[in-house]
Chains A and B, each alone.
Chain A
Amino acid sequence: MIDLNRAGRSRRRSVAPPVVVALVVALGCLTGCSNPPPQGGTPNRPQLDASSEQADVPYDVRPLLEPREKYLGVAVEGAPRSLAPVDAFAARIGKRPNLLAFYAAWGDGYDAQGVRRAWAAGLLPMISWEPFKPSLAAIADGETDDYIEKFAADVRKVNIPVAISIGHEMNGFWYPWGTKQNKPADFVRAWRHVHDVFLHAGATNAIWVWSPNVVNPLRGVPLKPYYPGASYVDWVGMVGYYTRSGAHTFKTLYGPTMRAVRRFSRKPFIITETSSQPGPRRRTDIADLFAGVAASPDVIGFVWFNFTKRADWRLETDPGSVAEFRGRAADGVFGFDVGNP
């Protein structure tokens, strides 16, 4: 018989309470008491709490993972607290970016307002989550689980697609989560732990971006030990800048990293930080960047780092570069409607 396994075997209940209740009610009726009979209460079914009742299906990020066109991203001072800097950048380049990268330290709350603001403006939010403290091992051991759970719950609740990059440039030595103070296994454990907490919270609207520094200056650091695994990563990010002294072509700047990654992952690439150091090559660098991304089917876009940090990476410092950027960005392959990829 295909039958009511569960309905027929509800949890063991005491027989006494309902009988007592019934008798009390019956006696109440007999003695003229005005107690009404129970109106079919729900003894075995407490109500779901309000938050879970209103939870809907998370945003389906799959169309955003491997779009036909390229992301045209920007990281700019003041955003997403305000989108005025993004608007100014868009005005300069003649096109609205469709990805906004910004940074959050470990312990910062999820910037729901900023995320909503960005998404409403047609920008996919990408958070570089920086675990300055505690250590990666502590995170992996669950010491900050309350914080992660809250963060994940907020991500789920806001229900806007968001790309998250934990501990970017983990293969470098310059950050506390880098090679100097951590082992690759710590990074992987921490990543997987955070990812699983998000999974448990149902925050499936997150896009996971594993974002090492380009390997050129870090030849002795193999990437594979830092890779959390295919099921934990959606995009492979790359942090790599055109500098006066470094590589000056897309092929030499990103090629070695891409070849190294392709030995253990088939995930699409996204350049999560890039810019060109001001100087005579800047226009060429910009042209090379656009051409390289456009010519690489497995590179889904890039993020222009429009900050002053150790150098002035801002585009607006050089009108010629702005013009070059403007001309290249006009190509229809860059920038698409993230709401309808």
Chain B
Amino acid sequence: MEGPTGTPRTRDQRARSPEDGPPTWGASLPWRPLSSWLADRAVTGQGYQPWSLGQGRSKQGYDLPPVPESAWTAAPSRRRAWISRGILFGVLVLQATLSLRLRNTAFEDEALYLYAGHLELDQLLGGPAAPEQFAAYFSGAPALYPVLAAAVDSIFGLTGARLLSLAFMLAATALLCSLTRLLFNERVALCAAAAFAITQSTLFLGNFATYDAPAICLLTLASWIVVRTAHLRGWVACVAGAPVLGLAVAVKYAALMYVPTVTILAVMAALPRRGPWALTRGLALPAVTGAVIAGALRVAGGDHLLALRTTTTQRAAGTADPRELLLDCLEWGGPMFAVAVLGTVLYVRQGRMGEVPGMNDAAVPGRIWRLCLGGVLCGTALLAPAYQVYLHTGVSLHKHIGYGLLFAAPMAGIGMNRLVGAHFRNPQLGILVWVTLLVLGMTQSQALYQAWADSDRIVAALRPEVRPGGRYLVEANSVARYYLREKTRPEQWTSTYAIAYTNREGERLSGEAGFRAAIADGYFDVIVLDRTVTKALDDRLYELLRKSPKYRLRTTVPFRNSNGTGTYRIWVKGATGDRP
């Protein structure tokens, strides 16, 4: 907090927060944060005149300067605002630096989305229709983020697309900071932003070209809007927040899981000001959001609804061990969640730290309100882990944990703030917690970013083999076809997931029989197997290729991923003779 001041403040001395101090950034606006508004109502100036001493000339003939009750003031000031902005800027710089230090080639999802985006973009610009119905199985609308990212990719390459994600994540952190300040105060806000900025998911997604970064940014923006408009009528929040919330869901369907949280946040932020009328927001916001989504689905077509079901709401169960999943959750989100729970407990027990003299009597939201807010924000962090444990799937768990941590971050900010204590009594505790989170975030994001193999060498090996009109069977081909998109068309690529092959007798074959027939007929020009996603099939196809008179092993390329080492085997057509 700001240090001693020589001159008593006369403006907005009563703008205090229920936590530690007053907000400053919005002080000149007619709107004020919830905390400030509550303080206004409770503290009317009576009994709170810390600078009332020392008035008048003394009998000794000299004047004593007024002696404030406190050596510092909680009142807003330009200096405080700039310090806060400076700290936030430092947090954002740190976040950007830690994200950008992550290095790897495109992950298969990044490659898939960017590739799909290029095809969709071509179609939008009058090119041929995309050969695949991406909308039928993507976990977000293919016409939104993939197109945007592909446009950036066209100009700046993969690095540009990833920088776009970084911009989204930085915006999310900044909005989170503002949102938390609206709910509490600037010190808590900065703590929340500092904690969120260094989690593994934030660092990872800040350099990862998928739906997640924009979805998180839009969710944060929607949350910020509903809190920022808490003093206005409910329809304002609906008009401003619902489209953003709907867009977040459209960008990534999994954002649907967080619509209730944003709705509750909208109600709770408005409840102290608007009383029971705030409840109308709880009905109107999801209704309008639902209408926006329904309208978008109607316009976009049934494929999107199918994909929403298969990828999100009715996702098929996996086979992952729930204990393993829980350990993953504990590792990736546990520490910050624990701090958030601590913050909730301390916040429920005591609404403010009592740092500002005379503010102890100021109104704070009720215990139930505090409990509900902390419970909702912390509980949201459990949604994605609980759903994935329920489904026995660990797919993208580390990313999805980040969505929940976004909502838990304000409570973690309170937790860190309370650990530091009033007047920075125990800064070492806050540093301990933050550095722990920092080290975990750095190491985990680094490890997760190296989970997939660097594709430089396999792409370099494939590049001379591909040509227009060639046919390529590549196990998980999204990365290869993304990097080689200038030389090939989508229909030239087949993965080992599925095939529909018509043999020379006109018989249509699928599955392993289809692959066997295609290899026997020499249908593919290049075959790449790596035993990563269809291991059993690969082994059988390997034996087939080893004895095939049509194919010749062109090269082997070693790789390393989080599961250990492996080898890409590239088979090419071109063996001598054609009779076994």
A199→B546 contact, CB < 8 A:
yes
Q: Which residues of B contact A204 (CB under 8 A)?
A: 552-556
In the complex, which residues 510-529 of chain B have their Cβ closer than 8 Å to any Cβ of chain A?
none
Of A41-49, A80-88, A324-332, the one contacting chain B is A41-49
| Nearest CB in chain B to that of A229: its residue | B547
CA distance A268 to B567 in the complex (A): 31
In which size bucket is the chain A interface?
Answer: 35 or more
* Shortest distance from the beta carbon of A42 to any chain B beta carbon, whole Å: 6
Q: Which residues of A contact B551 (CB under 8 A)?
A: 231
CB < 8 Å: which of A3, A30, A43, A62 contacts B109? Answer: A3
| Nearest CB in chain A to that of B458: its residue | A57
B398→A7 contact, CB < 8 A:
yes
CA distance A117 to B555 in the complex (A): 24
| Nearest CB in chain B to that of A28: its residue | B435
CA distance A199 to B398 in the complex (A): 38
Query: Residue-by-residue, is B182-207 near A (CB-CB < 8 Å gives 1, otherwise 0)?
Result: 00000000000000000000000000
* Shortest distance from the beta carbon of B568 to any chain A beta carbon, whole Å: 10
Q: Does A11 make an interface contact (CB < 8 A)?
A: yes
CA distance A30 to B426 in the complex (A): 11
Number of A-B contacts (CB under 8 A): 193
Query: Residue-by-residue, is B419-458 near A (CB-CB < 8 Å gives 1, otherwise 0)?
Result: 0000000001001110111111011111110111000000
B330→A15 contact, CB < 8 A:
yes
Q: Does A22 make an interface contact (CB < 8 A)?
A: yes
CB < 8 Å: which of A15, A42, A55, A66 contacts B446? Answer: A42
CA distance A26 to B446 in the complex (A): 19
B555→A11 contact, CB < 8 A:
no
Q: Which residues of B contact A57 (CB under 8 A)?
A: 460-461, 464, 554-555, 557
Q: A29-B431, A60-B554, A230-B579 are in contact. Are A7 and B439 (CB under 8 A)?
A: no
Q: Does B561 make an interface contact (CB < 8 A)?
A: yes
* Shortest distance from the beta carbon of A67 to any chain B beta carbon, whole Å: 11
Q: Does B73 make an interface contact (CB < 8 A)?
A: no
A2→B139 contact, CB < 8 A:
yes
| Nearest CB in chain B to that of A7: its residue | B451
B331→A18 contact, CB < 8 A:
yes
B112→A26 contact, CB < 8 A:
no
Q: A2-B138, A22-B435, A38-B439 are in contact. Are A7 and B448 (CB under 8 A)?
A: yes
- Between A3, A40, A235, A265, the greatest number of chain B beta carbons within 10 A of the residue's beta carbon is seen for A3
Q: Does A309 make an interface contact (CB < 8 A)?
A: no
CA distance A78 to B577 in the complex (A): 34
Q: Which residues of B contact A294 (CB under 8 A)?
A: none
Q: Which residues of A contact B66 (CB under 8 A)?
A: none
Q: Does A317 make an interface contact (CB < 8 A)?
A: no
Q: Which residues of A contact B395 (CB under 8 A)?
A: 1, 3-5, 8-9
User: Can you list 12 contacts pairing A with B, beta carbon distance less than 8 Å?
Assistant: A2-B311, A5-B533, A10-B562, A12-B327, A29-B431, A38-B439, A40-B98, A41-B443, A44-B562, A66-B576, A204-B556, A229-B580
A interface residues (Cβ-Cβ under 8 A, vs B): 1-13, 15, 18-19, 21-23, 25-27, 29-30, 37-38, 40-46, 48, 52, 55, 57-58, 60, 62, 65-66, 196, 199, 201-202, 204, 229-231, 234-235, 265-268
